[in-house]
Amino acid sequence: MTGVLIGATHEDAERKKAAAADAGVPQERLDGMLLGDPDSIAEQAQAYADIGIEGLTITLPDTDDLETIALVGRTLAPVFA
């Protein structure tokens, strides 16, 4: 299980990280999340797949953002297909 902070760009993801920190998410939790643009998130997830993990259970700090949910789905689905 891991958290995902994904944005269209790495800068967008960093802004989401800052917003989550401002909302009280502990720094150690933020530091353990996958962070970045779709290509970066896919590369990070691929590292899990490469060692035999067949899927991830994820948390998103911005669960009310349907665009983010769709983006993370489009990003991770090919890795674990």
> Which band of pLDDT confidence, cut at 50, 70 and 90, is reported for residue 47?
very high
Give Rg (Cα) of the chain: 12
Q: What is the pTM of this model?
A: 0.90
Are 20 and 75 in contact by the 8 Å Cβ rule? The answer is no
Query: Which one-letter DSSP state was computed for residue 12?
Result: H
**CB burial string 19-35: b at 16+ within 10 A, e below:** ebeeeebeeeebeebbb
Compute the average pLDDT of residues 25-37.
96
CA dist., res. 12 & res. 18, Å (int): 10
Q: Domain spans of the chain? A: 2-76
